[in-house]
Amino acid sequence: METCSLPTPNRVDLGFDQPYRSLGSEFFSPVRPMGLPAPRLSLVSEDASRLLGLHLGSTHPETQQAWAELFSGTTLPAGCDPISTVYSGHQFGNWAGQLGDGRAHLLGELDAPDATQNCGHARWEVQLKGAGLTPYSRHGDGRAVLRSSIREFLCSEAMWHLGIPTTRALCLVTSSLPVARERMETAAVVTRLAPSFIRFGHFEHFSYSGRHAALRRLADWTIARIDPACADAANPVLALLQGVVARTARLMAQWQCVGFIHGVMNTDNMSMLGWTLDYGPFAFMDGFDPAHTPNTTDRSGRYAWGRQPAIARWNLLALAQALLPLIGDPRLAIDAVEAFEPQFSQAMRAQLQDKLGLGAPQGGDDALVDAWLAAMAENQADWTLSFRLLSPLSANPGSPIPEALQSLFATRPQRFHTWVAEYRQRLQQQGRADAERKLAMDLVNPRFVLRHHLAQDVIAQAEAGDFSATRELMAVLRHPYAEQPEHAAYAAAPPQDAEAPALSCSS
Ligand code: AMP
Ligand code: MG
């Protein structure tokens, strides 16, 4: 059991710092959250609360109530002065001008009791999402509905357990406050944690409005917070950009390899940390279709699975452009972004190599991987199951192909069977025991991801007031690579009659 300091009942008067204020008033607005009427602490991530040395899972009713009041922004401890930050961004490839935290309040920062649990970051920013209007709400209501809040809560924790960098979700507070979307829904607040919520769009905001002194302050701040080694480089801001490029390339390879589609890769949703940020109309692919996007607003498929790496590069170019006044030589900035493609490809190839259990690369491996993906695509084979069910396949050409694997390729089996023969030949050259390879493959090919239909099921129950299914799903997603035979139903592809993920930006 990890150590954690247990708060005494009602002791939720956390000491939040607000160093972002030191950047100056043009970077934020002080905003009191509107809070929620009769807030209830409905979901807690014990893992995330331990990162802060807290124990939100206390069953003491008064303590629970105090957490609910705090993490809905209803009652704040003395000295907590929340802010909302300003940023801009490119949305769907077009300059959107000023955006900002339209429904996010930064409560402040808390120390991480153990920085090793926190990728080495010593502090966490604690942010409420959905706690009411801010000066950046534009036409929005400052709220987030229960449906989208559960999706964000579950997915950020699930991504973390997959080993993919992401903002964390501490807890979900609910209320009966009605919120109008396509239908009437109710409001919720997710508390998110990140070492920094700085987005590409924060830099675009100050650069494109010609405020270069502010841009410089933001760059210095970001370097000090997330990549202090850059300060020693000959061109610190160039080094910052190079770091973002490298982190984003790694992140894209990780997204691609688990079939994750973010859905809205606008520059204001891209984190300087290279962490997954802002869960909206995301999905994990069921049947493999590179052109798939769950976002119905994205008619051209700009943010489809197969385009995510190219879009990341496009976004990095927008960031490079924004940083140009500080970098100086455009050639340096362009070269930094040009490193994205080889870094992404190398990371993607290395991961696919592991996912197929191929061991050290050999000539012909890239073609073998591409042929596998082609066989998957022509069958629209389930992304997660295809990789996971490949691991029990024996290298022995005489042994049968497991039925569960074969059935994924039943529509157009020919290429698949040719591929299996080649794959087996390749495995035999490697000479690794089947069992050993299976073990290694199962460590990198998850059995459980947050499939759309699973999320829909638990959301329906939560909307009826029962969060037990959400908690059970969350428990399963904490161990995505384990077999968990008792939870086989959560590993299955969606039922034939399930609706395909079709999500709008409405959240
Ligand atoms: P998103 O598409 O969620 O990344 O949001 C883009 C911008 O719209 C950001 O500035 C958000 O803060 C803002 N926004 C989204 N939904 C709302 C809402 N319900 N109320 C206020 N602002 C919102
Ligand atoms: Mg956003």
Q: pTM of the full predicted structure?
A: 0.96
> What is the average per-residue pLDDT within 79-83?
96
Q: Which atom of ligand 1 is nearest to the CA of 104?
A: 12
Give the pLDDT score at 112.
84
Per-domain residue ranges for the chain?
9-197, 201-350
Q: Does position 292 have pLDDT exceeding 70, yes or no?
A: yes
User: Ligand 2 centroid to 125 CA: how many Å?
Assistant: 17
Choosing from 101, 227, 268, 382, which is the catalytic residue? Answer: 268
The pick from 28, 138, 197, 295 for probing ligand 1's pocket by mutation, whose C-beta has the most ligand atoms within 8 angstroms, reads 138
pLDDT tens-digit profile of 34-64?
Answer: 999 999 999 999 999 999 999 898 888 999 9
Q: Which atom of ligand 1 is nearest to the CA of 142?
A: 20
Q: Does position 10 have pLDDT exceeding 60, yes or no?
A: no
User: Ligand 2 centroid to 458 CA: how many Å?
Assistant: 24
The pick from 84, 94, 133, 137 for probing ligand 1's pocket by mutation, whose C-beta has the most ligand atoms within 8 angstroms, reads 137
Q: HEC profile for 29-96? A: EECCCCCCCCCEEEEECHHHHHHCCCCCCCCCHHHHHHHHHHCCCCCCCCCCCCEEECCEEEECCEEE
- Amino acid letter, residue 67: W
User: Ligand 1 centroid to 102 CA: how many Å?
Assistant: 5
Enumerate residues lining ligand 1, CB below 6 A. 99-103, 136-137, 140-143, 264, 268-269, 278, 280, 505
pLDDT tens-digit profile of 466-503?
Answer: 999 999 999 999 999 999 999 999 999 999 888 888 88
**148-151 long-range contacts, CB within 8 A, separation 24+:** 148/279, 148/280, 148/506, 148/507, 149/188, 149/189, 149/190, 150/43, 150/188, 150/455, 150/458, 150/459, 150/462, 150/470, 151/279, 151/282, 151/450, 151/455, 151/459
Q: Which atom of ligand 1 is nearest to the CA of 143?
A: 19
User: Ligand 1 centroid to 435 CA: how many Å?
Assistant: 49
> What is the average per-residue pLDDT within 184-191?
98
Question: What are the φ and ψ backbone dihedral angles of 237, each rounded to 5 degrees?
Answer: -75, -35
The pick from 99, 199, 262 for probing ligand 1's pocket by mutation, whose C-beta has the most ligand atoms within 8 angstroms, reads 99
Give the pLDDT score at 329.
97
| Ligand showing the shortest atom-to-Cα distance for residue 167 | 2
The residues placing their C-beta within 5 Å of ligand 2, an ion, are 269, 278
| 268 catalytically annotated | yes
Q: Whose CA is nearest to atom 12 of ligand 1?
A: 102
